[in-house]
């Protein structure tokens, strides 16, 4: 069942929510150290993850959202075990289990995880049922635990899976021309149902505060413009740098 719970003291601020759509590109430092003599020097290399590595590692955190009104995409920002411990972004560390899933009551096993999912409010708006479909095609009932209509954001919780992942996001600066990947379950010419996972690639064209209302978005809204293809069904999914 859907719980329309309008929470004003949601733990994630607007800045944190907006920054959540841009995941930090993790760099692995490889340092080769050689003794101090003329033929030996210290070399520091940075190995940047490839696009296919980023997609592969992020995919377990991207979920398909299906409702009686339509659907879209969401991404997991934290996972909570049966003991109540949160794993995931520091911004989601204080989020509690706000569902009927309880260990020992037959609906949650000892090793099951409760996932907190971020998406857009319009993805679940006016819906009486919300279903999370994971990367394996398995359906999980979801609860809406918080919404912010003005910022078009919603938090969902669902259970139960041991194979989910989460996106670790940071407050990192957005750079014009930066390469980005949009991940989600959009409707396409190949699959109009939006059940297939799709990745598209592009760059950040600009980031700005709107000076006037446009395309249904109110002025003074902070937006990122990208040429990565985004289609209906991508709503709620992440844009990853």
Task: Give dist(CA 221, CA 231) in Å, integer.
Answer: 20
Three-state SS for 115? strand
Annotated active-site residue in 20, 58, 199, 235: 235
- Return all residues near 52 (Cβ < 8 A) that are at least 6 apart: none
| DSSP-H helix ranges across the chain | 14-20, 51-58, 121-124
Q: ∠ at Cα 39 (34, 42), nearest 5°?
A: 35
Chain centroid offset of residue 139 CA: 18
Residue 218 DSSP class: P
Give yes or no: 140 in active site. no
Task: Give dist(CA 212, CA 21) in Å, integer.
Answer: 23
Annotated active-site residue in 122, 135, 191, 205: 122
Residue the block writes with tokens 């794993």: 87
Annotated active-site residue in 152, 161, 187, 199: 152
Residue 49 DSSP class: P
Structure tokens at 15: 């800045």
> Exposed/middle/buried for 76, CB within 10 Å: 0-12, 13-18, 19+?
buried
- Residues annotated as catalytic (active site), given as ranges: 122, 152, 235
């Amino acid at each position: 069942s859907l719980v329309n719970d309008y929470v004003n003291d949601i733990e994630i601020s607007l800045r944190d929510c907006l920054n959540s759509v841009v995941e930090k590109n993790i760099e692995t430092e490889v340092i080769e150290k050689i003794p101090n003599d003329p033929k030996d020097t210290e070399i520091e290399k940075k190995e940047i993850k490839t696009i296919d590595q980023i997609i592969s590692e992020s995919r377990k955190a991207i979920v398909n959202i299906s409702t009686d009104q339509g659907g879209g995409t969401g991404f997991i920002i934290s996972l909570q075990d049966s003991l109540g411990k949160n794993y995931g972004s520091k911004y989601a560390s204080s989020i509690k289990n706000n569902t009927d899933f309880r260990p020992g009551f037959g609906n949650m096993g000892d090793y099951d995880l409760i996932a907190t999912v971020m998406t857009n409010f319009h993805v679940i708006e006016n819906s009486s049922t919300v279903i999370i479909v994971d990367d394996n095609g398995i359906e999980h009932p979801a609860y809406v635990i918080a919404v912010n209509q003005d910022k078009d954001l919603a938090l969902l919780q669902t259970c139960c899976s041991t194979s989910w992942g989460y996106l670790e996001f940071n407050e990192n600066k957005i750079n014009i021309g930066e390469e980005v990947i949009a991940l989600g379950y959009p409707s396409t010419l190949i699959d109009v149902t939006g059940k297939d996972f799709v990745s598209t690639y592009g760059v950040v064209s600009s980031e700005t505060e709107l000076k006037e209302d446009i395309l249904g978005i109110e002025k003074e809204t902070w937006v990122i413009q990208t040429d990565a293809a985004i289609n209906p069904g991508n709503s709620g999914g992440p844009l990853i740098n």
